[in-house]
Amino acid sequence: MSPTKESKIKKEIESSGIPELSSISQEWVNIHQSVSKNKFNHKNNNYNEQKIDFEEKNGEYFLFYWIDAMENMGTVYLLGKVYDKKNKKFISCCVTVNNIERNLFVLPRKFLLDENNKESDQEVVMLDVYKELESIMKQYKVSSWKCREVQREYAFEEPNIPAKANYFKIVYSFKYPQLPSDITGKTFSRIFGTYTSALELLIIKRKLMGPCWIKVTNYNKSQKIISWCKTEVTVDSPKSINVCSEDDPEIIKEIPPFVVMCLNVKTVLNTKRNVNEIVIASALVYPEVNIMDHNANPKQEHDQFTIVRKLDEIPLPIKFKELLTKRNKKVEVVQNETALLNYLMAIIQRQDPDIIVGHNFIGFHLDVLLHRMKALGITNWSRIGRLRRTMWPNLQTGAGGMGESSIAERNVTCGRLLCDTYYGAKDYVKSSNNGLTHLSKLLLNINREDIEPEKTAKYFWQANDLLHLIQHTEFDSFLSSALMFKIQLLPLTNQLTRLAGNLWSRTLCGARADRNEYLLLHEFHGKKFICPDKYDYKKLQNNNGGNKKKAGYSGGLVLEPKKGFYDKYILLLDFNSLYPSIIQEFNICFTTVNRKNFNDNDEENNRIPDIPDQGLDMGVLPKLLKKLVQRRRQVKSIIKTCKDPAELISLDIRQKALKLTANSMYGCLGYNMSRFYAKQIAMLITSKGREILQNTKELAEANSYDVIYGDTDSIMINTNTDNLDEVKKIGNKIKKDVNDKYNLLEIEIDGYFRKMLLLRKKKYAALIVNESNGKIQTTIEKKGIDVVRREWCTLSINASNYVLDQLFSDDDREKSIENIHNYLRKLAEDIRNNVYQADKFIINKSLSKNPEDYPDAKIQPHVQVALRLKARGIGCHAGDTVQYVICKDSNKKSYAERAYHPDELKMNNELEIDYEWYLNQQILPPILRLCEPIEETDPYKLSGCLGLDAAKYQSNTFSNYNYDSNVSPFESHISAEEKFKNVEKWNPLCYNCDKRNEFVGICRQKDEIYVSGLICPNCNKPMPYGSLASQLHCTIRKHIKEYNNTILVCDEDCGTRTRQISVYGKKCLYPGCRGSMHYSNDYSDKKLYTQLEYYQYLFDIEEMKKKIKDNGN
């Protein structure tokens, strides 16, 4: 590279203003230096070159702790740990399980079908079935198969399947083709199990309940190396895999220690090639992590390595290597990205981690690593997992790291569990932002510096800056490990997996549906039931229009709130685990609820089945939940007497896992993508829940108590007293009266609110009472209100919190309102005077889908920002939280077009935050909502305090303020194309040429000029005005008729259907029903209104003039 070119680039870099190392906060550097000073261990521990002597028991079997598994062409590879006697440590091992056979269950017909596929009177015998199956097996080239007659039960949603019947069980090798799932014959009506994988069969039939010790018998050392593990064995039968009994004195009781690698990479965007390239990789390797040890922490003994390369054509800073020699932590300097990735793969192979930890590793790092290794031809790329591979998975298009890693990409890491703290925090931490910086402060109280991705390359010009970037990369690895230990991700997910019996790797990815599915598979298989086949999810999603539809039935009952501010004690009562308790109380199960005459495909068939008869045996679901509840009670009773802190942590994790498992069981019944989806059972459970809550409300009101609100499993009662002891007596009385009605259902006192602000359904704030050592303390609890939602900036949240603090203070009401008014005046003054830093104006909003998939991206500010981030090479995908601020821009009308990422604001000095927009849209609306029940103030006064146009609120009431969250206040900024994109376009008939053409308005564009829209574009003759008016009139009447034909349906059990409009609003017309009437189809008021607006727009002369003027024609 020429000196001129280098100096030019350097000048551009320096002009951007890299902060000096001394000017950057040293807090994280100090913590980084406090980590143990172990240097990276370079000693050769390549087990492939050493003799392995794993511990065998009597020469008959060896003990193997399995942690992950993968299937390929009917062969299952179990990956885990064995004990190496020679080296006295646990090492990785791969057990190849061959000869797993398909298990098919063929249901014979009662009568044979004739040539016309009509049922004859000839009964089917098993020999008939065998002969037909023999011809089918030949057709599908299955040359070797076995069969026998067995008895099985069925209790699921497939119609016309008997509860108990004799089946033909067929077994044959996975090397032969799979039979179609919908295949039928003249002698049989159904074949179950055609889709069942070898991995599922092994897990279910060998009872592998998650990671555990197993005995491996009849094994042979593998002749062919198929993995990167330290040792490999092969077994020729799945029966050589046996779970160890806990009573067996020879088994190892403890979970083996795991090798944990915390990996982080830094990338730069190569704009010429549009790819993210890796410039630094760093990892902490913990050689022995006992996941059940409460003393495990990120500062325990570890090795560390860091690799850095020079940027293309740019040499490393002159004094950089001199700085490195002064460090006591090794940094490997390599020439290019290929060398970096080869070195990284070698380290992964040498250290052989069982678990790879990272923050957003699944969403970014893994995809980047795979893209770069494929692009650069890294031969040992599969070392990132434990199975050797030569075939690359299908990688996503783009620069790498632009979207969440696909399942195929994640499978590459099989054998090395991916523990992503970003996804772990989403599941187990309540936070508005799951970014590493935010979580580090929230959970670890550590301030992390954010380095903008665009500036990464600029750190390579100065030695101190590059060293700072390396330390930042190293410390991010440390932070991800610290979050892993803090959230207890490994022990909690381990317990959840051992309860459900699925793959640990799936639990770590947050696959709750997967856990429920395997738990039920284990239970029903053990009781000789035929389980539902796995769905073809792509086909199911296509049938659903590509969407995961919400449940098509009523959920929990939400009582109409008595809005207002309450300054007397509010009593909160809550049912313990309502839905699991209902399942047990009423013996609700696949095996007990009669659903024979229900057609789930009929969307209007929302009839609820009857409660099972009391004389029936306990179903599988109630038994399972009873077992989980009893185990949790046992654990909680031990916790009460346990004194050992380590044991307490372990017990708490166990009880939490049991609770999560029991409470999630209902979800798989009502989730239409679930394998165990049972709509009628889910409807029955929620129906009983609504009935129980309504009965509890009526019971309380019968005793003259004022029920002000209730939601699904809880009710709130206004006690009208300031005496807490009196409140407790009321609570205990209601509790006794309710619990006496049931055997297993229990309601408990969940809390006391000293004051409460009840705004609407699912939105309230309350001063909750906490009693400790005879002293009463209070804290504010917020549910559903703006202050707990992430799309409000810090200033807005602070203002709302101040209002709540004043309303719940001990001051008199007038004083509190005066304080609020004064606070708002000062806040508005400070905002306009630029007192606050830009970070106070940041708004957070999560992406519900990938940015490019939004049909209305133009009116979504966070989507606009996300699209620009992706264009800069920064990954943004569904589930990510996007930050933005709204800035002034005279050329852009829509606020979505004026949304910018905080980094864009920093880089562009011309951007200026739109303070008036924030006062109008971020500060005022939540304050108005909080103060709605307060009589001493009104919108006119509050808006005046902020210096806004108070004329809008001249009526001095809150009633004129729009609270409907479904109506966009910025609809006037939406373009006509966007607004009317989903309407039915008008295509009038031209009587001159008898052709229909879309009418685009009174003017239309032709060859860059505008011509009359009343001239037919097909024959170029004027269309008669009378004809157009008549056709438009008929079209409008058609839409109004369609709207008026809409049927109202009750959302409660009565199922009332009517076209009558009740004088009581949405109240059901059926006597005694408390339900609400809702439209049965999607032709809503808004849809009709938009359609009529579209017709008006077509003939809007002023709008057309404006359009022509804007286009300069």
Write the pLDDT tens digit of every residue in 708-758.
Answer: 999 999 999 999 999 999 999 999 999 999 999 999 999 999 999 999 999
1051-1084 burial string, b = 16+ CB within 10 Å, else e? bbbebbeeeeeeeeeeebbbeebebbbeeeeebe
d(CA 234, CA 526): 27
pLDDT for position 1071: 59
Mean pLDDT of 492-497: 93
Mean pLDDT of 582-601: 85
> Considering the chain, what percentage of its residues have pLDDT values greater than 70?
86
Q: Return the ∠ at Cα 684 (arms to 679 and 690), rounded to 5°.
A: 125
- CA dihedral 105→107→112→113, nearest 10 degrees, is -90
CB 900 within 8 A of CB 887: yes
Summarised one tens digit per residue, pLDDT across range 284-306 is: 999 999 988 877 788 888 888 99
pLDDT band at 258 (very low <50, low <70, confident <90, very high): very high
pLDDT for position 22: 37
CB 96 within 8 A of CB 226: yes
Interaxial angle between packed helices 724-739 and 679-702, expressed in degrees from 0 to 180 and rounded to the nearest 10: 130
List the one residue out of 354, 300, 292, 302 whose CA is nearest residue 82.
354
Q: Return the ∠ at Cα 671 (arms to 668 and 675), rounded to 5°.
A: 60
pLDDT band at 91 (very low <50, low <70, confident <90, very high): very high
* In the predicted structure, residue 222 carries a pLDDT above the cut 50: yes
Which amino acid type is present at position 771?
A: E
CB 646 within 8 A of CB 497: no
In the three-class reduction of DSSP (H, G, I as helix; E, B as strand; rest coil), residue 893 is classed as coil
- Give residue for tokens 């209070």: 778
d(CA 1084, CA 1081): 8
Higher pLDDT, 821 or 978: 821
d(CA 226, CA 232): 8
What single DSSP character describes residue 236? S
Mean pLDDT of 17-30: 44
Helices (H) and strands (E) in the chain, counts: 32, 37
> Is the Cα torsion angle 312, 315, 316, 322 positive or negative in sign?
positive
Please name every residue paired with 758 in a beta bridge, in sequence order, or none if there are none: 564, 764
pLDDT for position 747: 95
> Is the Cα torsion angle 846, 850, 856, 860 positive or negative in sign?
positive
CB 331 within 8 A of CB 308: yes
Summarised one tens digit per residue, pLDDT across range 850-909 is: 888 887 788 889 999 999 988 877 778 777 888 999 999 877 667 888 999 998 898 888
Summarised one tens digit per residue, pLDDT across range 622-646 is: 999 999 999 988 998 888 888 887 7
CB 665 within 8 A of CB 535: no
Residue partners of 1026: CB distance under 8 A and separation at least 6: none
* In the predicted structure, residue 520 carries a pLDDT above the cut 50: yes
- Is residue 18 classed exposed, middle or buried when 0-12, 13-18 and 19+ CB atoms within 10 A define those classes? middle
Mean pLDDT of 426-447: 86
Mean pLDDT of 600-616: 74
* In the predicted structure, residue 960 carries a pLDDT above the cut 50: no
Mean pLDDT of 809-834: 93
pLDDT band at 164 (very low <50, low <70, confident <90, very high): very high
Between the alpha carbon of residue 271 and those of residues 336, 444, 800, 873, the distances in Å are 18, 36, 44, 8
d(CA 1048, CA 1056): 8
List the one residue out of 281, 290, 284 whose CA is nearest residue 302.
284
* In the predicted structure, residue 269 carries a pLDDT above the cut 60: yes
Summarised one tens digit per residue, pLDDT across range 773-786 is: 778 889 999 888 88
pLDDT band at 52 (very low <50, low <70, confident <90, very high): low
Helix (H) or strand (E) holding 574: strand 570-575
Between the alpha carbon of residue 845 and those of residues 432, 803, 1057, the distances in Å are 9, 24, 39
d(CA 409, CA 386): 14
pLDDT band at 961 (very low <50, low <70, confident <90, very high): very low
Summarised one tens digit per residue, pLDDT across range 527-569 is: 999 999 986 554 454 444 444 444 567 788 999 999 999 999 9
Higher pLDDT, 339 or 26: 339
pLDDT for position 170: 96
* In the predicted structure, residue 571 carries a pLDDT above the cut 60: yes
pLDDT band at 3 (very low <50, low <70, confident <90, very high): very low
Long-range pairs for 387-390 at CB < 8 Å and ≥24 separation?
387/70, 387/77, 387/79, 387/94, 387/226, 387/227, 387/228, 387/414, 387/415, 388/225, 388/226, 388/227, 388/228
| Through-space distance between the first and last CA atoms of the chain, rounded to whole angstroms | 52
How long, in residues, is the chain?
1113
pLDDT for position 516: 92
Higher pLDDT, 572 or 325: 572
Lowest mean pLDDT among 354-368, 470-484, 666-680, 681-695: 666-680
Give backbone dihedrals phi and psi of 97, rounded to 5 degrees, phi first. Answer: -105, 110
Which amino acid type is present at position 366?
A: L
pLDDT for position 1054: 55
Higher pLDDT, 601 or 181: 181
pLDDT band at 16 (very low <50, low <70, confident <90, very high): very low
d(CA 1113, CA 1002): 15
List the one residue out of 1072, 1027, 1066 whose CA is nearest residue 1054.
1072
List the one residue out of 164, 179, 189, 165 whose CA is nearest residue 113.
189
Query: SS3 sequence, 300-358?
Result: CCCEEEEEEECCCCCCCCCCHHHHHHCCCCCEEEECCHHHHHHHHHHHHHHHCCCEEEE
pLDDT for position 10: 40
* In the predicted structure, residue 26 carries a pLDDT above the cut 60: no
Mean pLDDT of 180-198: 94
- Is residue 246 classed exposed, middle or buried when 0-12, 13-18 and 19+ CB atoms within 10 A define those classes? exposed
d(CA 1075, CA 1066): 8
Residue ranges and CATH numbers for the domains of the chain are: 3-34+257-487 (3.30.420.10), 50-254 (3.30.70.2820), 535-783 (3.90.1600.10), 786-972 (1.10.132.60), 980-1046+1081-1110 (1.10.3200.20)
* In the predicted structure, residue 316 carries a pLDDT above the cut 90: no
CB atoms under 10 Å from CB of 752, counted, come to 22
- CA dihedral 18→24→28→33, nearest 10 degrees, is 90
* In the predicted structure, residue 1046 carries a pLDDT above the cut 80: no
* DSSP-assigned letters across all residues of 810-821: SS-HHHHHHHHH
* In the predicted structure, residue 194 carries a pLDDT above the cut 90: yes
pLDDT for position 49: 42
Summarised one tens digit per residue, pLDDT across range 980-1011 is: 877 888 999 988 888 888 888 888 877 667 78
What single DSSP character describes residue 362? I
Higher pLDDT, 235 or 34: 235
What single DSSP character describes residue 714? E
d(CA 202, CA 99): 11
The pLDDT mean for the chain works out to 85
pLDDT for position 407: 84
> Considering the chain, what percentage of its residues have pLDDT values greater than 90?
51
- Give residue for tokens 């830009």: 838
d(CA 223, CA 203): 25
List the one residue out of 851, 887, 848, 884 whose CA is nearest residue 867.
851
pLDDT for position 394: 85
Residue partners of 591: CB distance under 8 A and separation at least 6: 153, 155, 619, 620
- Is residue 173 classed exposed, middle or buried when 0-12, 13-18 and 19+ CB atoms within 10 A define those classes? middle
914: which 2 tokens? 């739109």
Between the alpha carbon of residue 58 and those of residues 94, 149, 234, 722, 991, the distances in Å are 21, 39, 19, 73, 96
CB 635 within 8 A of CB 651: yes
Q: Where are the alpha helices (DSSP H) in 872-998?
A: 902-907, 915-918, 924-931, 939-945, 976-979
Lowest mean pLDDT among 552-561, 792-801, 909-918, 1053-1062: 1053-1062
What single DSSP character describes residue 611? P
Please name every residue paired with 356 in a beta bridge, in sequence order, or none if there are none: 261, 418
d(CA 440, CA 477): 12
pLDDT for position 552: 63
Higher pLDDT, 3 or 660: 660
pLDDT for position 513: 86
**Around 642, how many Cα atoms within 13 Å sit in the side-chain half-sphere?**
15
Summarised one tens digit per residue, pLDDT across range 327-338 is: 777 899 999 999
